[in-house]
Amino acid sequence: MSAFWSAWIIVITLAVILGCAWLLFATRKSQPHQETTEETLGHAFDGIEEYDNPLPKWWFQLFVGTVIFGLVYLVAYPGLGSFPGVLGWTSTGQWETEMQHAEENYAPVFAKYAALSVEELQKDENAAGLKMGQRMFANNCSVCHGTSATGAHGFPNLTDNDWLYGGAPDAIKHTIAEGRIGGMPPWGAVLGEDGVRDMANYVLALSGKAVDSESVARAKPQFQALCTACHSADGTGLQALGAPNLTDDIWLYGGTFEKVAHTIRNGRNGVMPAHKALLSDDKIHLITAYVYSLSDK
């Protein structure tokens, strides 16, 4: 934060607090000899008149106490621009302390289950390790893949047996820890609009859809020239590159003609963020075990 904005926040904050204090004292009517008066403010409605009496003493003192509390708080804790507060408290420091406390208490529990292989965790009668993985999945992965892990538009369904980069435990663990970056280049400029529509028909034909046979015939040579390096000659994909299988009628971005044509025309860019900086190896192991348990192996 710059010095200007820090000073601006300090001035505004203190002005509001001190202004409230001034208003509180300025509007309090001094009546040393009596607590109430018969003098009114001239307001009357339905036979009810408003008297010019001060706040009850306890109520006034409570307001004064809140002003004092606010000033003490701003001295002790951050709140006045870049002033850190005399106690040195920060939200980051509080979070780090809590995380360290949790690590010390729960690390042995995670380590116990991390010592088991993914396959062994599947056989655990109590499934305690998988339940821990499920909760961590909900906290870290469900925003993209859904609470039930069935995915969404552009986010893979983890409950089937279709894997872009492989469904073995090591492949899943690598995906979670290191992340993935997938790219489908746009071919609209190369194929032209007619070529894009022919290619969409060809791709849909690979998954058994009824399409225009003449379009398929025209697109086949172009598919062999442009697409087989990633999707293979028969369209079954290549997990080493994350290129999807086009023959199984499972679609990451939708399998209608227009959506397939959009993918061919404009390309796609998918990113799975790396979690190794956010989660320990033991936690990644348990999430791997949970994800592995979801698929139809």
User: Please, are residues 152 and 144 in contact by the beta-carbon 8 Å criterion?
Assistant: yes
Q: Which residues contact 170 (CB under 8 A, 6 or more apart)?
A: none
In this prediction, residue 33 carries a pLDDT of 45
- CA distance linking residue 288 with residue 172, whole number of Å: 6
pTM score of the predicted model: 0.72
In this prediction, residue 54 carries a pLDDT of 72
208-225 tens-digit pLDDT: 999 999 999 999 999 999
Burial pattern 177-197, b for ≥16 Cβ within 10 A else e, equals: beeeebebebbeeebeeebbb
In this prediction, residue 29 carries a pLDDT of 58
User: Please, are residues 50 and 41 in contact by the beta-carbon 8 Å criterion?
Assistant: yes
- CA distance linking residue 209 with residue 117, whole number of Å: 41
Question: Could you give all domains of the chain from N- to C-terminal order, each with its CATH number?
Answer: 3-29+46-90 (no CATH), 102-179+275-294 (1.10.760.10), 182-272 (1.10.760.10)
26-73 tens-digit pLDDT: 877 555 545 566 677 777 778 788 777 777 888 889 999 999 999 999
Ranges under pLDDT 50 in the chain: 33
Q: Calculate Rg over the CA atoms of the chain.
A: 33
First to last CA, the chain: 53
In this prediction, residue 30 carries a pLDDT of 54
In this prediction, residue 36 carries a pLDDT of 61
